[in-house]
C-alpha cells in the first residue's frame, strides 16, 4: 500500500511538466482587450522591410519595381535593403537662364537671356553702343558687355575745352602756351609788354614761353 502512494506522488509532479505552451489552445482562452488592440495595430502598420518599399504617400512597391519617391524626379529601385535611387551629377544651370524645367531627374534650362543689361538698359546680342562719349561697348553672345575707353591725346594748349558729345578736350583757339600769366598762340612772336617778346616752344606747350628782352620803349621816352 505504501508503494502505490509513492507512485501517485510521482505522477502528480511529472504531469504538469509534460504540459507545454504549444499544447494549450489559445482559442479556448480569448485574449483580453489590450492584447486585441495590439494585434490590430500590427495589422495596420505592416512591416515591409525585405518585402517591398513605401514612398512618402504610403504606396507600396514590390522588390525590383522602379518608382519616384515623394517629389523627386529621379527614379528609385526597390531592393531588400530599401530604395536605391539615381543620383546623377546634374549640369550647372546657366546663370543667365530665365526658364528652368524640372520634368526630368536633373533641372534643365529651356531659355537663356538673349540680351545684355548695362546700367539699367537692355541691348541686343552684338549691338554696339556708347554709354558715354569716351566709351565704346558691345553686347557679346555671352550676355556680357565689353567696353573700351578712349585714350585721349594730350591737348596742345593750356586751355582745352570739352564739347558736348565729344570725348576728348579740344583746343578751340589752336596751340598756345603761357607767357607769365598771359596765354599766347604758338607759331608767332608776341610782344607781351614794352620790353619782352615771347614765343612758344615747338611742341612743348606745357613749358613756359621763351622770351627775349628788347629795348624798352618806356626808357626811350625818358
CA–CA dist 88, 31 (Å, integer): 53
pLDDT (0 to 100) of residue 48: 62
What's this model's pTM, rounded to 2 decimal places?
A: 0.40
Note the CATH architecture for domain 115-149: Ribbon (2.10)
- Region for 22 from its dihedrals, namely left if φ exceeds 0, alpha if ψ lies in -120 to 50, beta otherwise: alpha
**Confidence label for 55 from pLDDT (cuts 50, 70 and 90):** confident
H helices present in 19-126, as ranges: 33-44
> Tens digit of pLDDT for each residue in 148-205?
998 888 888 999 999 888 899 999 888 999 998 889 999 888 888 888 899 998 767 7
pLDDT (0 to 100) of residue 202: 77
Mean pLDDT of the chain: 76
**Angle at 16 (CA atoms; ends 13, 22), nearest 5 degrees:** 155
pLDDT (0 to 100) of residue 150: 87
CA–CA dist 173, 159 (Å, integer): 9
| Strand 76-79, strand 82-85: pairing | antiparallel
pLDDT (0 to 100) of residue 31: 45
The ranges of the chain annotated as CATH 2.10.70 are: 115-149
88: which DSSP letter? -
Under a CB-based contact definition with an 8 Å cutoff, are residues 209 and 200 in contact?
A: yes
> Tens digit of pLDDT for each residue in 92-113?
887 778 888 877 788 888 887 7
CA–CA dist 203, 81 (Å, integer): 89
Q: Residues of 178-211 as b/e, b for ≥16 C-beta within 10 angstroms?
A: bbeeebbebeeebebeeebbbbbeeeebeeebeb
CA–CA dist 129, 133 (Å, integer): 10
Amino acid at each position: 500500500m505504501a508503494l502505490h502512494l509513492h507512485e501517485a506522488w510521482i505522477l502528480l509532479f511529472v504531469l504538469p511538466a509534460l504540459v507545454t505552451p504549444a499544447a494549450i489552445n489559445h482559442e479556448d482562452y480569448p485574449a483580453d482587450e489590450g492584447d486585441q488592440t495590439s494585434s490590430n495595430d500590427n495589422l495596420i502598420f505592416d512591416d515591409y522591410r525585405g518585402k517591398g518599399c513605401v514612398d512618402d504617400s504610403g504606396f507600396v512597391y514590390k522588390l525590383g519595381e522602379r518608382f519616384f519617391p515623394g517629389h523627386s524626379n529621379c527614379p528609385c529601385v526597390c531592393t531588400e535593403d530599401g530604395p536605391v535611387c539615381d543620383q546623377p551629377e546634374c549640369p550647372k544651370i546657366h546663370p543667365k537662364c530665365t526658364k528652368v524645367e524640372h520634368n526630368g531627374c536633373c533641372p534643365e534650362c529651356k531659355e537663356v537671356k538673349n540680351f545684355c543689361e548695362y546700367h539699367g538698359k537692355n541691348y541686343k546680342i552684338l549691338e554696339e553702343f556708347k554709354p558715354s562719349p569716351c566709351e565704346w561697348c558691345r553686347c557679346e553672345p555671352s550676355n556680357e558687355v565689353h567696353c573700351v575707353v578712349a585714350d585721349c591725346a594730350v591737348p596742345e594748349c593750356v586751355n582745352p575745352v570739352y564739347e558736348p558729345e565729344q570725348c576728348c578736350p579740344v583746343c578751340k583757339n589752336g596751340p598756345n602756351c603761357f607767357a607769365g600769366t598771359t596765354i599766347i598762340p604758338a607759331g608767332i612772336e608776341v610782344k607781351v609788354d614794352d620790353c619782352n617778346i615771347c614765343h612758344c616752344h615747338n611742341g612743348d606747350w606745357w613749358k613756359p614761353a621763351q622770351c627775349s628782352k628788347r629795348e624798352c620803349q618806356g626808357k626811350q621816352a625818358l
